[in-house]
């Protein structure tokens, strides 16, 4: 099905004002955004409009009770200049899984994909060329009912916002395995990309930063024993040459980068295990020198090297980052598939259909 998306263009693009050599993360947005409203059980007002502030009721339900979900994805330019997306269908599927958990409506897959192609096609001039940079894409849906009282909203807004980003987390990160605060418990909303998860992480993250760490390595909510994930990244360990990552059991965000990594590793014949990962196992493997790499994986950073993990008052330092061969290979493979320099043998790359964007 093809939807009729109305386009209202800016009078003057801001593109020429952008310094593509110095892009701050998350502060620059392209000229246009996609916008749709869910009213009377259907998505209407399908529009690409200038990026601009919204008008919200002071009693907007999302502001008070947090019915809000999002996605994070990237568009990049292949070496031949074609803008491309990576596995966009998985992002809309996960958006809809988050929607289910938060009692929100689905965005039809075909609507999501059409809007994405039209918007990214139109904003393709905003996609930075530099290695590791991209056009970050932020789909977001939130409640729009204007009333107080905890209840499921009947109306929603869905936006797709885009903005150029440079390489993210260029420095290796120091993690604190926290034994006081939790991110997600069984039965909770840890698997949903919903606003409250990130709000709840701010205070513990600030405490960790005050102690000199960059982020928290979350442990399970019951025993503070099993490793979950980091900020907006899934976590991987290399032990005895084997790659080990926590299984997604309802408390961990099902990362699309994580999924691609598991696929690449299996394809290359590198042994991988998805299972419970006990922090004591990590401590023991570090002690014996069997823990050779730790890395985080997510759309924003792709791969983020971990320099150390602090647990129980001890900083477990990792060997020099240059020796983290698997992390390096994965980053190059995923970035290479994106750019077209590595053959896309799994069929993950979706070139943006630019012709649909011509208005
Ligand atoms: C988005 C996110 C990830 C990474 O998911 P990707 O699909 O790989 O970007 C991991 N953990 C959390 C908590 C996240 O929000």
Mind giving me the DSSP string for 138-184? EEEEEE--B--SS---S-EEEEEEEEEE--S--S-EEEEE-SS--S-
| pLDDT at 258 (0 to 100) | 98
The protein residue with its alpha carbon nearest to ligand 1, atom 12, reads: 232
Q: Is the CB of 72 under 6 A from ligand 1?
A: yes
Q: Where are the domains of the chain?
A: 6-167, 173-323
Distance 208 CA to ligand 1 centre (A): 20
Written as six digits, the tokens of 266 are 């299996």
Q: Is the CB of 95 under 6 A from ligand 1?
A: no
The stretches in the chain having pLDDT less than 50 are 356-359
- The CATH number of 173-323 is 3.20.10.10
Give 148-194 pLDDT, tens digit per residue: 999 999 999 999 999 999 876 568 999 999 999 999 999 999 999 99
Distance 4 CA to ligand 1 centre (A): 31
Q: How many CB atoms lie within 10 A of CB 59?
A: 12
Strand 242-246 to 233-239 pairing: antiparallel
| pLDDT at 26 (0 to 100) | 87
The answer to whether domain 6-167 and domain 173-323 are alike in fold is no
CA distances, 32 to each of 53, 64, 157 (Å)? 12, 27, 16
The residues, any chain, with a CB within 8 Å of residue 212's CB and separated by 6 or more, are 174
The protein residue with its alpha carbon nearest to ligand 1, atom 5, reads: 255
| pLDDT at 356 (0 to 100) | 46
Ligand 1 mutation target, pool 94, 175, 230, 233, most atoms within 8 A of CB: 233
How many Å apart are CA 56 and CA 53, to the nearest integer? 9
Written as six digits, the tokens of 239 are 């032990």
Distance 308 CA to ligand 1 centre (A): 21
Measured in degrees and rounded to the nearest 5, phi and psi for residue 45 equal 50, 50
The protein residue with its alpha carbon nearest to ligand 1, atom 1, reads: 232
Q: Is the CB of 215 under 6 A from ligand 1?
A: no
| pLDDT at 355 (0 to 100) | 53
Distance 266 CA to ligand 1 centre (A): 21
| pLDDT at 131 (0 to 100) | 77
Ligand 1 atom nearest residue 72's Cα: 9
pTM confidence score: 0.96
Give 208-233 pLDDT, tens digit per residue: 999 999 999 999 999 999 999 999 99
Q: Is the CB of 201 under 6 A from ligand 1?
A: no
- The CATH number of 6-167 is 3.30.470.10
Across the strands, what pairs with 232?
Answer: none
Q: Is the CB of 256 under 6 A from ligand 1?
A: yes
Ligand 1 mutation target, pool 139, 183, 204, 232, most atoms within 8 A of CB: 232
| pLDDT at 256 (0 to 100) | 98
The protein residue with its alpha carbon nearest to ligand 1, atom 2, reads: 232
Question: Which residue pairs from 98-102 have beta carbons closer than 8 angstroms and sit at least 24 positions apart in sequence?
Answer: 98/69, 98/192, 98/193, 98/194, 99/69, 99/141, 101/189, 101/191, 101/192, 101/194, 102/67, 102/68, 102/69, 102/189, 102/192, 102/194
| pLDDT at 358 (0 to 100) | 45
Q: By the 8 A CB rule, do 119 and 32 touch?
A: yes
CA distances, 69 to each of 45, 100, 182, 213, 332 (Å)? 20, 10, 20, 28, 30
């Amino acid at each position: 099905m093809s939807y009729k998306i109305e386009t209202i263009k800016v009078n003057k693009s801001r593109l020429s004002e952008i310094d593509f050599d110095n892009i701050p993360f998350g502060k620059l947005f392209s000229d246009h955004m996609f916008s749709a409203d869910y009213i009377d059980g259907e998505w209407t007002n399908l529009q690409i409009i200038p990026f601009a502030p919204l008008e919200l009721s002071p009693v907007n339900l999302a502001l008070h009770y947090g019915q809000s979900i999002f996605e994070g994805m990237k568009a990049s330019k292949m070496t031949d200049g074609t803008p491309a997306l990576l596995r966009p269908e998985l992002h809309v599927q996960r958006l809809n899984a988050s929607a289910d958990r938060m009692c929100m409506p689905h965005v039809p897959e075909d609507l999501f994909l059409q809007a994405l192609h039209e918007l990214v096609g139109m904003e393709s001039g905003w996609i930075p060329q530099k290695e590791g940079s991209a056009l970050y894409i932020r789909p977001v849906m939130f409640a729009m009912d204007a009333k107080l009282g905890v209840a499921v909203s009947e109306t929603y807004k869905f936006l797709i916002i885009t903005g150029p980003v440079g390489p993210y987390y260029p420095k290796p990160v120091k993690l604190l395995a926290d034994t006081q605060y939790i991110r997600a418990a069984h039965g909770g909303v840890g698997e949903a990309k919903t606003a409250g998860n990130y709000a709840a992480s701010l205070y513990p993250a600030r405490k960790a930063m005050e102690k000199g760490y960059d982020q928290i390595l979350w442990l399970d909510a019951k025993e503070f024993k099993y490793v979950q994930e980091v900020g907006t990244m899934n976590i991987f360990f290399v032990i005895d040459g084997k790659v080990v990552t926590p299984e997604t059991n309802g408390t961990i965000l099902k990362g699309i980068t994580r999924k691609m990594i598991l696929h690449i590793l299996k394809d290359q014949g590198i042994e991988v295990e998805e299972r419970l990962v006990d922090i004591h196992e990590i401590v023991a493997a570090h002690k014996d020198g069997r823990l050779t790499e730790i890395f985080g994986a997510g759309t924003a950073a792709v791969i983020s090297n971990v320099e150390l993990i602090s647990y129980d008052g001890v900083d477990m330092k990792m060997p020099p980052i240059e020796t983290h061969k698997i992390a390096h290979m994965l980053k190059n493979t995923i970035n290479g598939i994106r750019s077209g320099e590595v053959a896309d043998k799994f069929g993950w790359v979706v070139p943006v259909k630019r012709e649909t964007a011509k208005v």
